A and B are shown apart, each in its own frame.
Chain A
Amino acid sequence: MKLIKALSPCKVATVLLGTLSLAHTAALTQVGLVDCLNVVEVGQSRARLVACGDTDPAHLANDSQVQRAMASLGISPSSVTFKGCEGAAFATIPDVLGTRTSAHYTITYPVASGTNYFAPIAHELAHILQIEAAGTLQKLRKAYVSKKIELGADFLAGLVLAEVLTRRGVNQFQANPEIYGLYRELDTNAHGTPAERTAAFRFGVYLDPSKIGSSMRLANEYFYADIYQDVLKQQ
């Protein structure tokens, strides 16, 4: 499984999506400028451009686990489009930018054999909850540093996986190369070290439900306020 090594895979993916969409609508005019959140970005080399159709080859939209994850996070299935293509990165892209609230999101993913989708998709769906809780992606980025956002998404993914899978399913996250941490990364796109990502995820898996009731929004807030500093102590 190759990881995408890209200057900005989100931007590349969005250029492609935007280019294709432009053929059909006039809405996406900010080609190349769309912001997004992605699972892992490694290195600084440019990605090769790939053709990316407007399809969901892994049928994630109809996947029962993904649907349960969305229900758990309070995300309406109609608000998410999944788009998979070879060479894409796992990324969450709000359709509306800047200061306006988005009602729809696109989650891109790489299509390759052997890919275990559920854990990184749970991470991406968690980003949607984070964006909606903050209001917009711009507000989210202004409120928290990248590492806090990304580890927060790992924490929420832990909550989701604990609800949707059995405990033995935790290795879908822990042994997934798409979600492995890094030791050397830029602050602006930091996701955390392997120990920090594992810790954030497991804090979610083993969270005492009484701390948050059944509210993922409260869980999100609880992570920022109390759990994040404990996660940083694990490296």
Chain B
Amino acid sequence: MQTSIKTSSSNSSRCAAVSCFIGMLAIFVSAHAAVRLDKLNACAEMSSLFQSLANSPAAPISCRSPLTYLERAVFERTKVTASQACLLPDAPSSLLTGFSCIRMAVQEGSEITCFRAAESADIAGYKTNSGGDYISLSNKYVTQAGKCSDSNGDSSSAVRTMFPPILAFISDFEFGFVSGLGRHNPSDAFAIHGYGSVDPSLAKRSSGAIEFFSIVTGAQLYKSAEVTRRIGEWSVAVDDDITMDEAFNSLAKRNGAPLRIDSTSFTLTRQTSSDESHSTKLTLLKGIQRKISEALEDEGFSAMSETDLAKKTGKTSGQIVDEISRNAAFGMRRNPFVKLSRAITALINEEHPPCTKNHAGAMAAYLFAIEPVPEKRSDYGKVALMLLAMGACGRSESTATRSYERGLVEGATDSVYQTLEQR
């Protein structure tokens, strides 16, 4: 903010000028000392931004390098490349002046996420209502946002799952607001505006919070790849995790690493009117892991003891789990959606299939479990099997190797079903 102070030989006019300056400074300071609810209800700017993204989702763009501390932190922690996340040279709308904006590479539609530094005191002030009647301000904001011409009328407080994933690496969701865009409800487009608290490890050079804004158009409806089988009261959703496997395998191939994974997960739910304890459910998961492990051992795999695992990896299974948890994105730690069980089973096979001949290759199998959500009756957690082909097996494209892997997955699947049938 610029102020101009006219000099004058008279004291009164100088005092007036100084008072004016102090007043303007006070306004400047106070304008930055409170949560600003001024994005989603800026209907003209929102419309312009939405229409430009919806009409030209793949418009050519140039990218810049990270400049600010928080920008660098985002890119260092996510390890994304410019082709995956393009830091825009300019804000895509006058509404977002002063924000760092990232255009995400998405298969369809478009997604832009923006953020700028904010004060952590702003968040505390908002939540304790010390700044005024935040309820009526927030409701007014939501109502106005829902009345914009490009809104579909569905506007509300935002929920945690709507927090832009890329920002979870430096911050945690605190609160926000969301407005559906377009003509349909539910819509494939929305805008979210809110505030997050910054990772304290970044606090030295940050003000402790961010204000964020994100707009998504042409979002694809989530299609589950799970195949569900019912066994009495039980449902087992089998997911062959193709997307994750392809991402890892492409990366390994590009880097010339002789590795290939084939993952499958089994999500367990039970329709019952009675509750079972968390420990009973964990016992079931361990039992399923053990059954799958036995089936793999029948196929020539050898289970690694904790000592063997520590020798090969330098860590016990518990330490591996702790490291995974520590490395989770900051915004995923406080109220995690998933909790990895401490029981990991690692097995190795250096004798089957043919690609293991002359120690040219090996197959490893890792069994993980995701704990059920406590006090959620139907949730019994998840067991995941990851097959890792290494060396000649990792490079092998032969039918024999792939058939062998598929056979192992089928065996694991049968083990899950048999355990539940016997329960």
Residues on A lying within 8 angstroms of B by beta carbon are 1, 3, 167-168, 170-171, 174-177, 180-181, 183-184, 193-195, 197-199, 202, 206, 225-226, 228-230, 232-235
Chain A residues with CB under 8 A of B153 = 168, 170-171
Chain B residues with CB under 8 A of A1 = 136
Chain A residues with CB under 8 A of B375 = 228-229
Binary per-residue interface labels of chain B (238-257) against chain A in the complex, 1 for a CB within 8 Å, 0 otherwise? 00000000000000000000
| With contact pairs A175-B146, A177-B139, A225-B377 given, residues A233 and B157 touching in the complex (Cβ less than 8 Å) | no
Within the complex, what minimum Cβ distance (angstroms) separates B328 from chain A?
15
Chain A residues with CB under 8 A of B128 = 183-184
Interface contact B161-A234, CB-CB below 8 Å: yes
Chain B residues with CB under 8 A of A193 = 175
Interface contact A176-B156, CB-CB below 8 Å: no
Complex Cα spacing A228 to B153, Å: 26
- Judge if B127 is at the interface, Cβ distance under 8 Å: yes
| With contact pairs A184-B127, A195-B159 given, residues A174 and B142 touching in the complex (Cβ less than 8 Å) | yes
Chain B residues with CB under 8 A of A168 = 152-154, 185
Complex Cα spacing A232 to B159, Å: 10
Chain A residues with CB under 8 A of B136 = 1, 177
For A195, A199, A229, which residue has the most chain B Cβ atoms within 10 angstroms?
A195
5 examples of A-B residue contacts, CB within 8 angstroms: A168-B153, A175-B142, A175-B155, A180-B139, A229-B379
Residues on B lying within 8 angstroms of A by beta carbon are 127-129, 135-136, 138-139, 142-143, 146, 152-161, 175, 185-186, 275, 335, 337, 373-379
Interface contact B160-A233, CB-CB below 8 Å: yes
Chain A residues with CB under 8 A of B155 = 171, 174-175
Within the complex, what minimum Cβ distance (angstroms) separates A61 from chain B?
27
* Closest partner residue, chain A, to B275 (CB atom): A225
Within the complex, what minimum Cβ distance (angstroms) separates B382 from chain A?
15
Q: Which 6 A-B pairs have the closest CB atoms?
A: A174-B156, A194-B157, A225-B377, A234-B159, A183-B127, A168-B153
| With contact pairs A168-B185, A226-B379 given, residues A198 and B135 touching in the complex (Cβ less than 8 Å) | no
Chain B residues with CB under 8 A of A194 = 138, 157, 175
Chain B residues with CB under 8 A of A197 = 157
Chain A residues with CB under 8 A of B152 = 168
Interface contact B142-A195, CB-CB below 8 Å: no
* Closest partner residue, chain B, to A167 (CB atom): B185
Within the complex, what minimum Cβ distance (angstroms) separates A90 from chain B?
15
Residue from the list A3, A167, A198 in contact with B159, Cβ < 8 A: A198
Chain B residues with CB under 8 A of A184 = 127-129
| With contact pairs A183-B127, A235-B335 given, residues A198 and B160 touching in the complex (Cβ less than 8 Å) | no
Interface contact A175-B185, CB-CB below 8 Å: no
For A175, A180, A228, which residue has the most chain B Cβ atoms within 10 angstroms?
A175
Interface contact B335-A167, CB-CB below 8 Å: no
For B129, B142, B157, B377, which residue has the most chain A Cβ atoms within 10 angstroms?
B157
